[in-house]
Amino acid sequence: MDFYRIGDKVISLQKIIDEVKRILDLRQKGFSQIEVAEKLKIDRSFISKLEGLGEVRKGKNIAAIGFPIKNKQEVEEVLQSYGINYYLLMTEEERNNFINSLSAAQLLNIMGEYINNFKSFDIVIAMGSDFRLNWFKAFLDCEVITIPLGKSPLKYDVEVDIETLKKILDTITQ
């Protein structure tokens, strides 16, 4: 369990997560913000801010990026079936070949182009190691939805959970 000391207080991250889940479960069941606030004895404005903080805007412009992906073809087929036409997916071998085929200057230029292209989307689904997911979130000026594939550095291909990908796509494309 994660604890944080703030002045004389000790804060339990798990307690916060549990309460947020209670709030969202009640809201999902159809309770209004006022009803949830009264039931849990919290301010309604807190619920509104919480929902705003976690909101994933539905956008028409969705892209995907990910590596090293073991089931690349299956992921491509799912993305295409949802109308996602802009994506960059690579296996570890493809990623290494790509990096090794370019000079540092060429690689920097191409990465800049990719970043600019992905920035033009409302939502980017990012699949990769923890380090790369943080990198995507830092560089892209859009909503980044992450599918973690493991801890960095990943030196082998990892299978993307197709059901997780479909749930995300169902949520953001409806």
pLDDT at residue 99 in the model: 92
Q: In terms of CATH architecture, what is 3-54?
A: Orthogonal Bundle (1.10)
Q: Residue 1: what pLDDT?
A: 65
Confidence of residue 112 (pLDDT cuts 50, 70, 90): confident
For the chain, how many residues are written?
A: 174
**Residue whose entry in the numeric block shows the structure tokens 């919290």:** 42
pLDDT score at 57: 53
Q: What share of the chain is helix, strand, coil (3-state, %, to 5)?
A: 55, 20, 30
Hey, what CATH topology would domain 62-173 get? Rossmann fold (3.40.50)
- This prediction has a pTM of 0.68
pLDDT of residue 44: 86
How do the domains of the chain map onto residue ranges?
A: 3-54, 62-173
The stretch 47-54 carries a mean pLDDT of 83
